[in-house]
Amino acid sequence: MLEVSHISKAFGGVRASRDVSLVVPEGKITSLIGPNGAGKTTLFAQITGFLKPDSGSIRFLGQDITGISPEEIAERGMIRTFQVVQPFAGQSVRENIAVGAHLRIRSRREALAKAEEVAIEVGLGDRLDMDAASLTVAGRKRLEVARALATDPKLILFDEVLAGLNPSEIRDVIPVILKLKERGITILLIEHVMQAVMSLSEYTWVLNQGALIAEGVPKDVVSDPQVIEAYLGKGMAERIAQRAKSNG
Amino acid sequence: MRTLSLLAVIFAGLAVVPFVLVSDVWMNLAILILYSALLGQAWNMLGGFGGQFSFGHAAFFGTGAYTVAVLQVQFGVNPWIGLVAGGLAAVVVAAIIGYSTFRYGLRGSYFALVTLAFAEVLRILSNSVEITGAGVGILIPLEQTASNLQFADKASYYWILWAMALAAFLVAWWMGNSRFGAQLMAVRDNEDAARALGVRAYGVKMRAIMLSGFFSGLGGVFYAQYFLYLDPHIAYGSSISIESLLVPIIGGIGTLFGPLLGAVVLHGISEVSRDLIGDVPGISLVLYGTLLVIMVLFMPRGLAGLFALGRGKAKKTPEKSSDKTSGATGEAANA
């Protein structure tokens, strides 16, 4: 569904993406993990048109979308959310979601009706008339999901949609994301919350210092020595293995 | 729908004003208020709904005014045609300003400065070319017939203006209740988030500035036909730009009724102050400045924010105090 091939991007001396290639399969939940500063959000920004890659190409639904605008990419059915949630402050929850609905719906009344429907689906049904700025963090995350969902997307890129939530809030949001998958929406997550990665995603890529260092089923990936070293530092994989041996 | 009914009631009330106010002095005040409301609503379309603060709405106003005047005086074109031409010429100027700013992603104070610069360039141009009468200005010959868009009675002028203002307010209402308006406000509140949801931010802002320019241009046409005299300072001077933004800021930025409320208050205050202080030159500017500071500091949402008219349907939860309410809680603590 989404093919990223050989993407590279540098900011001065910092190589934020180094020859990254990945293929997101249709109808699945996949994820992108990696330590802070690995270039995950930068990769998202390139995929969704907010940044132009220095080299490489991106194909979505079989068409080349490298370098086209975020608006156009959204119209083609790929929507991103933001790590730092960005509600339209001063507008109500209903109005916020309606902006997403308007991508496919011209009529104001129908868009507002659709917003209401989507809000109920993600669990914001009781807060429709609240100012989006006064939502809690968990509420704002739901709002991000709702706005994306209201555009009738084929693929949603969630940038740390669970970050900053407490465990019980995470437990509440995970079913919402699973429900999206049941509706046939493909999902790519950037996630720090390992509980989410393990329970949600079927396939994961690990990014470190701009390059992919591992990929596979999450439970295999997290035991990959390279991944452990990327997260915990050099030599840690070995020590963990030794301790496991001495304990066993 | 409720706001539309309210709008209908208000404009129905405004339509009969000439039957109630028979004195020319009062009619003059009514015209000034409605004229300010028109300019304010025009600014509000771009600044209030679109969040693009223009400091150079005189560029549109002056273009409308000069178009109707120059076409009449130099080319003998009927001012009714000039009325349309003036609005359209202002749209062209708006498109040029919009293209040269939005295309390159200018926002906030950069946008404000560029609009100011455009108005200044046009002022200097009109001051130096022959066709606008240069620094001497341009005088539209007095010929009070309806076919000439000049009237002996103020009531007729008032109704022309009423129709222009009604059109502007209907467009503003439409902005608050349409896909275009929703997208414009989304761009205002967070451009990146809006674009991620498929809002074509550039196109939306272009449409907003062109609509805004059109109604400012109509205001200019009205001015030219009402006062029959223009010079570069009147047409492209900063006082028009300031009045255009002051009115909605006082009344309530991004609200449907804000500009009308602001116009009433602004002219009300300047009339009262004239009675009290007398006609000291420049005193109104001092007053406007003071008023602007007070409004921005203490009532960023304007008077409409107090009444929660038009927009402001969104409820704030009381337990989560944002920075807006911190002033109030501070006062409470002091008391």
Per-residue pLDDT tens digits for B276-298: 777 777 777 777 778 778 888 88
Q: Do B315 and A74 make contact, defined as CB atoms within 8 angstroms?
A: no
B-chain residues near A71 (CB < 8 A): 195, 198-201
pLDDT computed for residue B322 by the predictor = 37
Mean pLDDT of B30-34: 94
Looking at the DSSP bridge assignments, the partners of residue A207 are A212
Instruction: Tell me whether residue B87 is in a domain.
Output: yes
Q: Side chain identity at A9, as an amino acid letter? A: K
Q: Predicted confidence band at B37 (pLDDT cuts at 50, 70, 90)?
A: very high
| Nearest Cβ partner for A134 among B183, B201, B316 | B316
- Identify the helix (H) or strand (E) that includes residue A40: helix A40-47
Q: Predicted confidence band at A57 (pLDDT cuts at 50, 70, 90)?
A: very high
Angle at A189 between CA A183 and CA A194, to 5 degrees: 115
Token duo for residue A58: 């991106």
A7 CB-contact burial (10 Å; exposed 0-12 / middle 13-18 / buried 19+) = buried
pLDDT tens per residue across span B100-146: 999 988 888 999 999 999 999 999 999 998 888 888 889 998 888 88
Q: How many CB atoms lie within 10 A of CB B75?
A: 9
Mean pLDDT of B244-269: 91
Residue A28 has pLDDT above 50, yes or no: yes
Range of the domain at B231: 2-236
Residue B328 has pLDDT above 70, yes or no: no
Instruction: Tell me whether residue B85 is in a domain.
Output: yes
> Mean pLDDT across chain B, nearest whole number?
87
Looking at the 3D structure of chain B, how many domains does it have?
1
pLDDT computed for residue A124 by the predictor = 92
pLDDT computed for residue B100 by the predictor = 94
Do B173 and B256 meet the contact criterion of CB atoms below 8 Å apart? yes
Q: Do B182 and A133 make contact, defined as CB atoms within 8 angstroms?
A: no
* ipTM of predicted assembly, 2 dp: 0.89
Q: What is the CA radius of gyration of chain A?
A: 19
Instruction: Tell me whether residue B268 is in a domain.
Output: no
pLDDT computed for residue B334 by the predictor = 36
Instruction: Tell me whether residue B40 is in a domain.
Output: yes
pLDDT tens per residue across span A187-245: 999 987 777 788 889 999 999 999 999 999 988 888 888 888 888 777 777 888 888 88
pTM above 0.90, yes or no: no
Size of interface A-B (CB pairs under 8 A): 98
pLDDT computed for residue B331 by the predictor = 35
> In what side-by-side order are the strands of the sheet with A29-33?
A78-80, A155-159, A186-190, A29-33, A203-208, A211-216
Q: A131: which DSSP letter?
A: B
Q: At what angle do helices B258-277 and B238-251 cross, to 10 degrees?
A: 110
A-chain residues near B315 (CB < 8 A): 92, 129-131
| Nearest Cβ partner for B179 among A81, A102, A151 | A102
Do B58 and B238 meet the contact criterion of CB atoms below 8 Å apart? yes
Instruction: Tell me whether residue B130 is in a domain.
Output: yes
Q: Do A148 and B182 make contact, defined as CB atoms within 8 angstroms?
A: no
Mean pLDDT of B182-205: 94
Instruction: Tell me whether residue B251 is in a domain.
Output: no
Q: Predicted confidence band at B321 (pLDDT cuts at 50, 70, 90)?
A: very low
pLDDT computed for residue A248 by the predictor = 61
Do A101 and A118 meet the contact criterion of CB atoms below 8 Å apart? yes
pLDDT tens per residue across span B169-178: 999 999 999 9
A-chain residues near B314 (CB < 8 A): 90-92, 95, 129-132
Cα B249 to Cα B304: distance, rounded to the nearest angstrom: 10
B-chain residues near A50 (CB < 8 A): 192, 195-196
Q: Predicted confidence band at B308 (pLDDT cuts at 50, 70, 90)?
A: low
| DSSP strands (E only) in chain B | 138-139, 229-230
Least Cα distance to B206 among B92, B98, B48 occurs for: B98
Mean pLDDT of B200-214: 96
Instruction: Tell me whether residue B302 is in a domain.
Output: no
Q: How many residues does chain B have?
A: 335
Cα B217 to Cα B91: distance, rounded to the nearest angstrom: 8
Q: Do A81 and B196 make contact, defined as CB atoms within 8 angstroms?
A: yes
Interface of A with B (CB under 8 A): 48, 50, 69-71, 74-75, 79-82, 86-92, 95, 98-100, 102-103, 105-108, 111, 129-134, 147-148, 151
Q: Is A60 helix (H, G, I), strand (E, B) or coil?
A: strand
Mean pLDDT of B148-165: 92
Phi, psi dihedral angles at B116 (to 5 degrees): -60, -45
Q: A23: which DSSP letter?
A: E
Instruction: Tell me whether residue B296 is in a domain.
Output: no
Q: Predicted confidence band at B58 (pLDDT cuts at 50, 70, 90)?
A: very high
Cα A113 to Cα A118: distance, rounded to the nearest angstrom: 9
